[in-house]
Copies of this chain bind each other. A is one copy, B any other.
Amino acid sequence: MEQILTDILEKIKPTDSKKKELEKTREKLIKKAKDTILKTNTKAEAKIFGSTARNTWLSGEKDIDLFLIFPENTPREELEKKGLKIGKKISEGEGREQYAEHPYVNTKIDGFDIDIVPCYEIDDPTQIKSAVDRTPHHQDYINSWLTPETSDQVLLLKKFMKGIGTYGSELKINGFSGYLCELLTIHYGSFEKVIKSASDWGEKTLINRTQEHEDEDLKKMFQDHPLIFVDPVDPSRNVAAAVSKKNYAKFIRATEQFLKKPKKEFFTPNEPSFSIEKLEELIEDRKTKLFMTNFEIPFDLVPDIIYPQLRKTRKTLTRKLEENNFKILRSDIWSNEDIGVILLELKVSKLPKIRKHEGPPLDVDAGPFIDKYNNSSEKYAGPYLNEDGRLVVEISRNKTEAKQVIHKALKTGEGFGKHIKKSINQEGYKLAEDQEIVKEAESLGIEKFLGKYLTKCLPWQR
């Protein structure tokens, strides 16, 4: 394991020249910010936060968070207005307005991706006005605990998380944030110790360095969270709130497997490629029924908006299929922020023309039910009594093929993500099935997504 970690660290630790490059940009940025603050006669401070400010950034990462820290008594409106104004000036007209809890500016300078975020200066982090106000306190906490040695350990953990696909608290991933990786490393002491400890985690794990709340209370507060890491700067907050059950389990299984057989694929998994022939063969082999729908997403939305909407849309589709007695084997979503793709794989996609329909309970007169179906041309058999004493008629099923349900759902958009519904309504959708999907995937350039779906496995085992 030693050797692997040394090799990996060498690759992921920024070189001196990279560090200098970053330093230059940081200084430039701070200077620009301070000048602008002065020129606009604003009461605010400018500071850099995030991994690039605390030596826990991976080589190749190019994110800088520039915070504009306003005094606590600044009216919210003024903070938002001035925050945007200064952000735009710094980015010299290149910046895009973006929205989180309040608006901020995203821009590119010297090849770095820079978020310029206004926040309040709040002494007590439990009294913050907006989530970003916590960031300075997080930075203070990490800096007070992290040594140059442990920051290398953070790099290893972050790279491991990236490799197995659990890194990032954004809604696309629902995984472990950088701050959480830093805290885990601080808490256990090293990458290897994190790995060893996590391999013993059970269905629910609680890490509490503050002792402000009782463990029992914390478990109740965060009862749906598999992992609870109490925020040292705000003990009523779970730093691991974003971590899904799936990613929690994936991390545990990865640590288990890594301890048994350490290999570099945990950090840098092999990326497979799939020929058209291979994809066709994989679909042929499964003998399931596969559908793929794709549609445009024309509204310039951030991933934190797109992915929840895609998931909601997928869930609505699978729910409607199940309600019609079709059975899902698996499904998946994909997006490049311009188009959305939903894959649906069914184990039952055709049903007979007949379905059962139950009559009223015994304390309700069955006359209307019996008359209605006796006079119905769509009746196959019944009414009769079933073993539970319920009247049943056998009538014709509306949708005998899953495809009909999918088309109808896509046409109405009912229960879909708001923007997806709007887009499909305006721009339409495509629906491919079985082998047609391969051609469609080729034209969308998502052969790898399709191939990975069809050969889904643990990333380090590819």
Q: Are B387 and A287 in touch, CB under 8 angstroms?
A: no
Binds B, one of A56-64, A95-103, A114-122, A363-371: A363-371
Binds B, one of A211-219, A388-396, A409-417: A388-396
Residue A202 at the chain B interface, CB threshold 8 Å: yes
Residue A352 at the chain B interface, CB threshold 8 Å: yes
Residue A316 at the chain B interface, CB threshold 8 Å: no
CB contacts (< 8 Å) of A384 on chain B: these are: 456-458
Residue A303 at the chain B interface, CB threshold 8 Å: no
Number of interface residues of A (CB under 8 A): 60
CA distance A131 to B458 in the complex (A): 66
CB contacts (< 8 Å) of A257 on chain B: these are: 366-367, 370
Main secondary structure of the interface of A (DSSP, over half): mixed
CB contacts (< 8 Å) of A288 on chain B: these are: 352, 354
Chain A stretch 322-367: residues in CB contact (< 8 A) with chain B: 325, 327, 329-330, 347-348, 351-356, 361-363, 365-367
CA distance A421 to B248 in the complex (A): 50
Residue A249 at the chain B interface, CB threshold 8 Å: yes
Known: A246-B386, A249-B390, A456-B384. A287 touches B256 (CB 8 A): no
CB contacts (< 8 Å) of A260 on chain B: these are: 367
Nearest residue in B to A381 (C-beta to C-beta)? Answer: B456
CB distance from A141 to the nearest CB of B (A): 29
CB contacts (< 8 Å) of A245 on chain B: these are: 387-389
Residue A383 at the chain B interface, CB threshold 8 Å: yes
Residue A237 at the chain B interface, CB threshold 8 Å: no
In the complex, which of the residues B244, B330, B382, B458 contacts A456, with contact meaning CB atoms closer than 8 Å?
Answer: B382
Q: Are B249 and A457 in touch, CB under 8 angstroms?
A: no
CB distance from A387 to the nearest CB of B (A): 5
CB contacts (< 8 Å) of A457 on chain B: these are: 381-384
CB contacts (< 8 Å) of A226 on chain B: these are: 389
Q: Are B351 and A391 in touch, CB under 8 angstroms?
A: no
CB contacts (< 8 Å) of A352 on chain B: these are: 286-289, 329, 347
CB distance from A338 to the nearest CB of B (A): 26
CB distance from A224 to the nearest CB of B (A): 12
Q: Interface 1/0s, chain A 247-271, versus B by CB < 8 A?
A: 1111011001100100000000000
Nearest residue in B to A252 (C-beta to C-beta)? Answer: B362
Nearest residue in B to A248 (C-beta to C-beta)? Answer: B389
CB distance from A282 to the nearest CB of B (A): 9
Q: Are A256 and B367 in touch, CB under 8 angstroms?
A: yes
CA distance A81 to B36 in the complex (A): 115
Nearest residue in B to A326 (C-beta to C-beta)? Answer: B348
Residue A42 at the chain B interface, CB threshold 8 Å: no
Residue A25 at the chain B interface, CB threshold 8 Å: no
CB contacts (< 8 Å) of A383 on chain B: these are: 457-458, 461
Nearest residue in B to A380 (C-beta to C-beta)? Answer: B286
Residue A285 at the chain B interface, CB threshold 8 Å: yes
CB contacts (< 8 Å) of A388 on chain B: these are: 245-246
Known: A287-B354, A390-B249, A457-B382. A363 touches B256 (CB 8 A): no
CB contacts (< 8 Å) of A249 on chain B: these are: 362, 385, 389-391
Nearest residue in B to A388 (C-beta to C-beta)? Answer: B245
Nearest residue in B to A253 (C-beta to C-beta)? Answer: B366
CA distance A202 to B362 in the complex (A): 6
CA distance A443 to B326 in the complex (A): 37
CA distance A249 to B201 in the complex (A): 54
Residue A454 at the chain B interface, CB threshold 8 Å: yes
Q: Are A202 and B363 in touch, CB under 8 angstroms?
A: yes
CB contacts (< 8 Å) of A458 on chain B: these are: 370, 383-385
Nearest residue in B to A246 (C-beta to C-beta)? Answer: B385
In the complex, which of the residues B289, B351, B370 contacts A347, with contact meaning CB atoms closer than 8 Å?
Answer: B351
Q: Are B348 and A246 in touch, CB under 8 angstroms?
A: no
Residue A149 at the chain B interface, CB threshold 8 Å: no
Residue A139 at the chain B interface, CB threshold 8 Å: no
CA distance A374 to B253 in the complex (A): 15
Pull 9 A–B residue pairs with CB atoms less than 8 Å apart, ordered by A: A249-B385, A252-B362, A260-B367, A285-B380, A286-B380, A287-B353, A287-B354, A347-B352, A381-B455
Closest 5 CB pairs of A and B: A249-B389, A245-B389, A288-B352, A202-B363, A287-B352
Report A's interface with B, CB cutoff 8 A: 201-203, 226, 244-250, 252-253, 256-257, 260, 285-289, 325, 327, 329-330, 347-348, 351-356, 361-363, 365-367, 370, 374, 380-391, 394, 454-458, 461
